[in-house]
Amino acid sequence: MAGILDFSILAPVQMGDKVDGEDRFFHSDGSGVGVGNGTLFLWERCSASGEILRGYYPKDHCLEHKSLRLEVGVWGLLDQKPSLCSFIFVNPENDIVEMTFARLRVLCGSGELKISLATYRLFYDING
């Protein structure tokens, strides 16, 4: 997958027409897409006032070819804020596509996409 500042991976996302340095694109209304600031997302779309409108989580991965293991934090966002988050995936034709977490939830609800608990993690709680 491309490096963190390679915006070409965000091809399906309306980037913007004005570049600010190497890490942010702006629209005429002041909103833009840029590198995330310490969140789970490598890129974020922000309003003109700086409010995060959507986080983008790129994965060089095709769900149609192979299952995907998700980190707990990503799964939590998928469950809690599905309209504010998107994966950037590769489809079977090797095109880069955006899939919102809301769409993933619909696919899970319809049974088209399955959720599998792949592992259990055991640990001692020395405080409890």
Measured CA to CA, the distance from residue 106 to residue 72 in angstroms comes to: 20
Average pLDDT estimate for 30-36: 82
pLDDT reported for residue 18: 59
pLDDT reported for residue 49: 92
Cβ-based neighbours of 42, under 8 Å, separated by 6 or more: 4, 35, 36, 56, 57, 58
* Bigger pLDDT: 63 vs 11: 63
Measured CA to CA, the distance from residue 123 to residue 128 in angstroms comes to: 12
* Bigger pLDDT: 102 vs 74: 102
Handedness of CA 98, 95, 66, 43 (dihedral sign): negative
Average pLDDT estimate for 82-96: 86
Residues composing the chain = 128
pLDDT reported for residue 2: 43
pLDDT reported for residue 46: 87
- What band does 89 get if pLDDT is binned at 50, 70 and 90? confident
pLDDT reported for residue 4: 45
- What band does 17 get if pLDDT is binned at 50, 70 and 90? low
Measured CA to CA, the distance from residue 110 to residue 119 in angstroms comes to: 24
